[in-house]
Structure 1
């Protein structure tokens, strides 16, 4: 198997079966295939100017399954998160999840690790903070993300 393609934007390996990144380029598709990715989940809306045109078609040509869950950066919802959890549960084989900057993805995985897999909050938070920290970000949408990832007890 090929080495991780760390030149993909904001690349991160979470475990042997799960990788994440920011935006994908057409040249990244064969790199994902080479490391055995079977399923790609995209959380970025197609109307983003940095989105990969015909991503679904390029992945299908490479033999990968594709799930599209467009999450507006300024308005993540529980429905988006539920669709993400369902897509992860249904993925058969290694999965790659991406958006534009790996911020949506890292926030979704933070909740998934903490709330579904029962990972210790500090460990889940460390994975999130490899990409960003919504609570201290100066991005105008950061407050929505801080609320989105807050623990149910908060």
Structure 2
């Protein structure tokens, strides 16, 4: 699957990437992916027309959480974390247009699960891209929120 733009294998059950093509989606089915979560806008410049129908036709569950690139929201991250928890144990591909949103959400998810500390999470994200000011603020505020929730504050 490394042919998908900015593909990053996280572990045996999770990968994040940029927008897959229809042929690459078919490869996901061959590799037993069970869930595709798309953070890109459904009609964006890089969107695959009919992606939801294509994915469903392959027997893969499709979830869309449209995240406006210049305005990511904590509610979208929390919805993503919820979907990830609901689908624990399944093989999941998280994608967006270029793996910028997806890598940030994946890093924050892994941080929330205690699999990465803040420095490891930042490095995970920066392995794909250098977040701009909007995204760095979103990441920082999300970390703070997730830490407060864990500590019960």
> Which bracket does the TM-score occupy, shorter chain normalised?
0.7 to 0.9
Q: Deviations over 1:63-122 (max 9, x none)?
A: 000100000000000111011101111125100000001000111122112233352223
TM-score normalised by length of structure 1: 0.87
RMSD between aligned alpha carbons?
A: 1.4
- State yes or no: 1:62 paired with 2:58: yes
- Determine the structure 2 residue equivalent to 1:32: 28
Structure 1 segments of 4+ aligned residues over 6 angstroms from their partners: none
| Equivalenced residues, count | 142
Structure (1/2) with the larger helix percentage: 2
- State yes or no: 1:81 paired with 2:77: yes
Instruction: Pick one of 107, 130, 153 that aligns with 1:110.
Output: 107
Q: Deviations over 1:42-75 (max 9, x none)?
A: 0000121210111111011100001000000000
TM-score normalised by length of structure 2: 0.87
Shift of 1:124: 2.0
Which consecutive residues of structure 2, in runs of 5 or more, have no partner in the other structure?
148-153
1:2-151 aligned within 5 A: 5-91=1-87, 93-134=90-131, 142-150=132-140, 151=143
Which consecutive residues of structure 1, in runs of 5 or more, have no partner in the other structure?
135-141
